[in-house]
Chains A and B, each alone.
Chain A
Amino acid sequence: MATSRIAVALAAAVVAIVLVPAVAAAQPGMVPPDPPAPPAERFQRFHVGVHGGLRITGLDEHAAASRAQLDAYGWPSVTSPVLHGYGVDAEYLLAPLIDVGLAWSWARGEHAAGTAWADDRVRTDATLIGAVARLHWSRGRPFIPEPRVDVGLQRVRTVVHATSDTRTTPYLRAGIDWRLGTRRGGVVLAVGYTITGRAPSGALDLATGGLDLDLGPYLRF
């Protein structure tokens, strides 16, 4: 008899523990609030930047041949210049990890000088326009180096004795964009190496590639 009472008491306890909360939960006004859902992550998909930069043409693979050509033609003062200029680029975060876009830049430098006072110079203006692909591998974090590749066309305007000539060649640039700022804006320090196509045989073929150093602000939105 005592044993059956104990069994009944245990069964009652189990019912109280298991079923009572379920019944209570089913009652309106007594439901505990759900934890707030985490906010959806918002990416800045557009990147726009401007920069000023230098290109060290002395590190172009063609630099020695370029100087030799000018020396052979008799220019008394020949150098591989540091081109200086500026540029702009705009990209869109297309895939989870890749920015794609366009880049434009312009740079100028003087390769040789003669003995006359006026117009006895060899100067190049190099304008580059190309497609950009950048590894956007750590979204939202600041101070991130992002590998980048540019492929496009270079239009070189060469001025000799105040007479200009232009030609278009392909170029390839590979480097790193070091984003120093927040996810929305800051400064990009870019280092890259540019390889350019060559001029036809017999034409003046000056080195306009080399090591690039660029610095400028960016915005992401």
Chain B
Amino acid sequence: MSPGCDGLDAANATGVHRTCAPLLAAVLLGGCLEAEDDVVQWSEDFETCGTCTWTIDGIATVVTTNHPGEHAVELERGATLRHGLALVRMIDPDPDQGWDWGGSFTDGNWIEYSSDCPGRPALTLAAVGPAAPDAIDVTLALAGPADGRFTRRHLTFPRLPIEPPIDPEASPLERVTFRDLAITSDGRCRIDNLRIMVSGGTLGY
């Protein structure tokens, strides 16, 4: 009990204890909760220089959205935006399932963005090939048409597109690298505040 609740006569004790109990519970609960430890590994808000660091195939323009200071990229149907990445993921060989993210990244490994296209998006990974066995290309496919309302989307990365090794113990592959991010759209869609996130492990499960 907190010091403010000590030294009370019996007549007042019940009422004061009722008052203090929720406060004490809140303090104890706050002490038990751990702070969120999500890490932003890469982000793009198209505010600094628009699409100057992107490669555009098709028609994609920077537009203002809900405020003159807020900008997004509007992709026309069939357009593709590309951006280089250099994000390293440690991986674990799973004897039962082959290569995978390992225990720390089962769910704490995702991409998030805001878009006005309410269709079901797709997040896919593709191995670059034998020339770069640890390189992975990421593709985010937006599904239109747009409804004009921005919503936040969170997509967990799928399983690694790497064949399981014959002998995991002998394989030198311990990491993969996200080398390239491509954004495509099947309609006119706006996208903003794109982030690649990873959990610090505390909240991963």
Which A residues contact B (CB, under 8 angstroms)?
69, 71-76, 114-116, 120, 158-165, 202-204
Is the pair A163, B150 in contact by a Cβ cutoff of 8 Å?
Answer: no
Is the pair B67, A204 in contact by a Cβ cutoff of 8 Å?
Answer: yes
Is the pair A73, B150 in contact by a Cβ cutoff of 8 Å?
Answer: yes
Q: CA A162 – CA B192 in complex, angstroms? A: 17
Tell me which of B39-47, B84-92, B122-130, B155-163 binds A.
Answer: B39-47
Is the pair B66, A164 in contact by a Cβ cutoff of 8 Å?
Answer: no
Q: CA A11 – CA B65 in complex, angstroms? A: 109
Is the pair B43, A160 in contact by a Cβ cutoff of 8 Å?
Answer: no
What distance in Å separates the Cβ of B187 from its nearest Cβ neighbour in chain A? Answer: 19
CB-CB under 8 A for A162 and B152, given A73-B193, A74-B192, A115-B40: no
Residues of A within 8 A of B149 (CB): 72
Write the B112-153 contact mask toward A (1 if CB under 8 angstroms, else 0). Answer: 111000000000000000000000000000000000111110
B47, B66, B150: which has the most chain A beta carbons within 10 Å? B66
Residues of A within 8 A of B45 (CB): 74, 114, 116, 120
- Interface residues contributed by chain B, number (CB under 8 Å): 21
Is the pair B152, A204 in contact by a Cβ cutoff of 8 Å?
Answer: no
Is the pair A161, B69 in contact by a Cβ cutoff of 8 Å?
Answer: yes
Question: Which residues of chain B from 166 to 205 have a CB within 8 Å of any chain A CB?
Answer: 192-193, 195
Q: CA A160 – CA B195 in complex, angstroms? A: 19
Is the pair A74, B148 in contact by a Cβ cutoff of 8 Å?
Answer: no
What distance in Å separates the Cβ of B110 from its nearest Cβ neighbour in chain A? Answer: 13
What distance in Å separates the Cβ of B96 from its nearest Cβ neighbour in chain A? Answer: 36
Question: Which residues of chain B from 45 to 100 have a CB within 8 Å of any chain A CB?
Answer: 45, 47, 65-70
Is the pair B114, A203 in contact by a Cβ cutoff of 8 Å?
Answer: no
Q: CA A161 – CA B69 in complex, angstroms? A: 6
Please tell me which one of the listed residues A72, A165, A204 contacts residue B151 in the complex, with CB atoms under 8 A apart.
Answer: A72
Is the pair B70, A204 in contact by a Cβ cutoff of 8 Å?
Answer: yes
Is the pair B69, A72 in contact by a Cβ cutoff of 8 Å?
Answer: no
Q: CA A209 – CA B67 in complex, angstroms? A: 20
Is the pair B193, A165 in contact by a Cβ cutoff of 8 Å?
Answer: no
Is the pair B66, A204 in contact by a Cβ cutoff of 8 Å?
Answer: yes
